[in-house]
Structure formats: structure tokens, C-alpha cells
Structure 1
Amino acid sequence: MTTTVRPEPGTRPDPWPDALSRARFHVVSGKGGTGKTTVAAALALALAGGGKRVLLVEVEGRQGIAQVFDTAPLPYEERRIAVAPGGGEVRALAVDAEAALLEYFEMFYRLGVAGRTLRRMGAIEFATTLAPGLRDVLLTGKAKECVTRTESDGLPAYDAVVLDAPPTGRLVSFLDVTRAMADLAKAGPIHGQAKGVEALIHSPLTAVHLVTLLSDLPVTETLDAAAELDAAGIPLGSVVVNRMREQWLPDRSVTAAAGGRVDATRIRNGLQSAGIELAPTEIDGLVAETVEHAVAVEGETAALRRLETEPTPPLPRLTLPALLGGVDLGSLYELAESMTAQGVHLEARR
């Protein structure tokens, strides 16, 4: 697997600063179609390296984690889904809002059978419709419980929790809705739950990573989300540039080729010197592919420069290569290895 090196106009920050190695709640979001679930899965594997225990959580009901790991749909329970290099492990949890609410009822009100009766009556759907923010508090609240849970020896149950969060379009409202819920419920368990989630999300234990592709719309949405998160006081982690194209042409040739200035005769002579004979139509096809590739590289380089110059200061950035043939379990480990090579790790805590 090859990563692409692009020309960079200035000094960029460490892709994985020390503060990120101390974070314990890693939220992964991105515009739809950028591969955020794949990146969240690879990040969980990378963080679990060296014997760590990491929980990968999803909250959208899509069973995306099960799909990328090619396993059966996940129930509402934590189960081991992968082993990481160095003896670590990744567990996964698909959070269901209704199950989380029943768990909440049992924890704070000891409703037991009565809580299950409420579910059959549709009262849970009614409650989350009446107070829409309650659903997000339940989802983030379960993630928060996993982050802060300790075992009988006082050590944390997990070294880190990775959340495959909703897309960037509703990310801030999803993470910061706890403030509205705290205003809605002035006292009691719901108030405490909301305040606890809010405290975690606004603390250095949290890092929000934004996944993007190198094209205008995803980059614009990423920059907008970064600005919203910063304004809301939610800690930013890294920008993950996914599916970075391998650059076939030398830098000096990209601009000319993107402008259609490709010497077909030179290509034919070069191939002939290597003992390769192609028909004129095949040479024309190579020329067209070269122009198309150069245009794409120019566009991606311009998008990359936006990520380097528009946020001030620039955000830490991880890059992941394009996967030929799609995503499977083996390629997840390759992406995790790429992240580890860029410095992704956790400080030991357990």
C-alpha cells in the first residue's frame, strides 16, 4: 500500500500530538460518503495496538461496524470483534436508544418489568419524540459510561472508546444537545446525566476527528465543522484525509498534463524503448488517463492547501491511501498500520 506525498507550502503540525495520546474518548465524524466508519474502525485497531483494550461504538443503527468487520449484526452488548497487533483487542457496541433508555430506567428508577412494559406501550418512542434531545443524551450517555467505567481493581475498563458519530452536518447538535437537556431538566437523574456527558465532551479526554476527501464539498464541510466545534468549546483532534490518490506524475509534469499538454510521441517512444508496442488508440487512451489523473491531482492538491491554510493554526492531519478493491478486514489492518506509522497511539493507563 502506498501513501502519496504532496508538495506542502509550510510546516504542518504533528499528525498525532501528545494531547491526543492522552484522550480517552475519540469521536469520528465526516460528511456522508467520506468513509468515517472505516476510519473509526481503523483508528480503534491502531489505538488498541500494544495490548490496549478499545471499545468501538456506533449510534446510528446502520450496523456499519458489523459491515466493515464482515460479521453478524451487533446486539446491544459489548463483544470482542478484533485482535490488535501486540495483544490488544477491539470490542464493539451498537447502542440502541430504546435499550439505553430501559437501562437508564433500571439504573435510576429500578423499574425492571415496568420499564419493559413502557417499551411495549410505545412510551419510549413517545418520550424521545417529546424531548428529541433525550435520544442523543441516551446515546452519548452510554458512550460516556463506557469511557468512565472502572473494573473492581479501580483500573479503567477501556483504554479508549472510539465513537462512530453522526455526519458533520449534525455533529455539533448531537454532541452539544446535552446543554439543552440540562436546561430542560433542572434536577434529577436526567440533569445529572446530561451534565456528566457535557463535562466529558468539553474536557481534554475528548478528541473529535473529522474525516474528509480531497474535494471541495467535503473539505468545506470539514472546515465548517471544525469552526463550529471550536466555537462550541469541543476539543478537536485530527483531520483524517481519506482515500488519498497515489501521484503517478512528477510534480513538474502535473500542471502541463492537467492543461492537456501531453506528448503522445514521447510516450510511444518511451514504451518502445522498454519493448512495449501499443496501438495508436491505446496510446490515446493513456494520454486521456494521464490528463484525467493530472486534473484530479491538481484539484486534490488545491484542497490539501485549503486544509493547511484556512484553519489557524492548522489542524493535525493524518492521511490514508485509497484502497484498491474496497474495504475488507485485511485492509482495515493496513489502514491501522498506516495510522500507527504516523504516530497514533495511547498512553498506557490500565
Structure 2
Amino acid sequence: MVDAYLVVSYGGPNRPEEVVPFLRNATKGRGIPDERLEQVGEHYYMFGGKSPINELNAALVEDLRDELVRRGDHTPVALGNRNWEPYGNDVIKELYENGARNILAIATSAYSSYSSCRQYREDLARWLGEVDLPDLTIRKVKQFWNTDGFYRASVTAVRESLEAAPGSRLIFVTHSIPNAMNDSSGLEFGMTYEQQHLDLARRIADELGVEDWDMAYCSRSGSPHTPWLEPDICDHLEDLKTDGITGVVVAPIGFISDHMEVLYDLDTEAKAKAEELGLAFERAATVGTDPDFISQIADLLQNPGRTSYCEENCCALSRSATLPAL
């Protein structure tokens, strides 16, 4: 019997003085000096030093809790983060103190890769070891990119934007990852991270009768010598302008809410690039708290199916292959 549901996420700063400490957590082990983190933090300072992710996750948890209660399920629902408060290990300990012995977790990322799935599984395993409670069990629901509710919510968002900007070129967008990470991803689905996005994008386009569409990426970081999934959204906008396209609808199907990658990389950088090129720009909503999506999460928590779904080294990077993961 499940005693508590845990929504696991990335976390983000709530005020300017938290930006660098948050980035220290997010880049732990990489030896990045604070001076560089201050530069990276400019994205956050542009928005008052606050990430929208915490309030968005709080809204998701509230709506999820309401949906579960509507179904007669009063199991506690909590949020625990990797990089900022509330930290996952603290939340797990609090749930245990309140009587939970069997926790079912779901991450706020839909697709399979090291950073979007396995790293959360490693987080859960590490937190479980840190709290050192032998009678506590944690399981994780698998990724949900191919579920009906996520698909329906995505279709709704894209349809509304296409209707608002008829004749525009449809561009699906997600977070770029290194090619090597993509190649090791998605063993449980038989599709890589990239292929999962393309599969969903194709389904959405077919549903909406869109023949010409593209996949682009954002939020690349790290060494410029390391190959990452391409094209970058801004580079792709330049190519579309050359091809005679006059307007675009950008659909961020790789993100479940309007957090920093959406607000900065798309609503700020990509929009500015489109304006520079003279392209009309319409950005589709993320699934957020769409009722179909909230209902789908509730379905997954109430009927998780097989939770030991990955091979031992699924989505593992060479540096992490031996780290325990739930």
C-alpha cells in the first residue's frame, strides 16, 4: 500500500541571494567558480532572481491533490527537489515521521535520458541512503511522454496556438542534451530521448493535420566541443527565414511548465531572434495544469504498473554507471 506520493523536481531560487547557492548545487562537482555562476545567473536576475518553477510545481501539486481527493484518494502528496528547498531528503524524512513507509514518486520530466530520468532515480536512491530508514521503500513511476493525457494536453496547447497564428510553421522544441547522453537513453521504451520527442511530435502534427513541421532544441550548455542535439532554435529560425517562412508557432513539448528554459530561451531569446528576422512568433503553452495532464498523473500514481522498468545501466553515463538508482 502506498502511504505517500512524492513529486520530484529540479528546484530553483526564490530570490536574488539564492541564485548562486542554487547554481552551486546544480553544478556540484564541476568546479565552476562563483564568478562564472554569477554570469550564468543573469538569466534568473532578469526575472528578479526568481525561478517560476517553484510556484508552478506548487500549483501542479495542489491540482493533483484536488484530483486525487475527488477520486476519494487522500494519500498525502509532497514535493521534493534536487537542487533547492524543499530538498528531497528532508521531505522524505518528514513523510516518514508522519507515518509513510511506502512512497511512490513521479518526476516532473516526461522523457527518458540521464538528466531527465536516471538522475532522479539516483537522487531517490541517495536520499533513501541519507535518511537511513530500513523500513522505508521508495518506487518511481516511469516516464510519461507516451501517455494519453500528456498527448491530449499537448494537442490542446498546439491547436490553440495554430488557430491564433494560421499559416505559421510549427516548431516543436525541447531541451538539448549531449549526443552521447541521447544514445544511451530510453532503453525501456526502445526509443532514444530524441526519438521519443519525434514520435510525440509526429502524433500531434498528424492529429492537427500539419504536414510541415520541425524539431529544434534549446538550453545547450557546457563545452562547445561536445556534440549536442541540433538544430538550436535560434539557428533554425534563421534557416526558416532563408526558406521564406514568415511566421512560427513554437511548441515546447519537452517541458511540462513555463520554467526558466521556456521564459528565457524561448520567450526571450528565440522571440527576440524572430523579431530581428521579421518572423511572427507565437509560443504554445506547456501542459502545466491542464486537466488532462493532471488526470494522467493521478492515473499513473494510482495505477503505476511495473516500477522496476529499467535495465541496470539504462540512461547511465559512463561516470554514473555504477551509482545506485531506484
* TM beyond 0.5: no
Higher-helix-fraction structure? 1
* Higher relative contact order (CA closer than 8 Å, sequence separation 6+): 1
Query: How does the TM-score come out when normalised to structure 1?
Result: 0.29
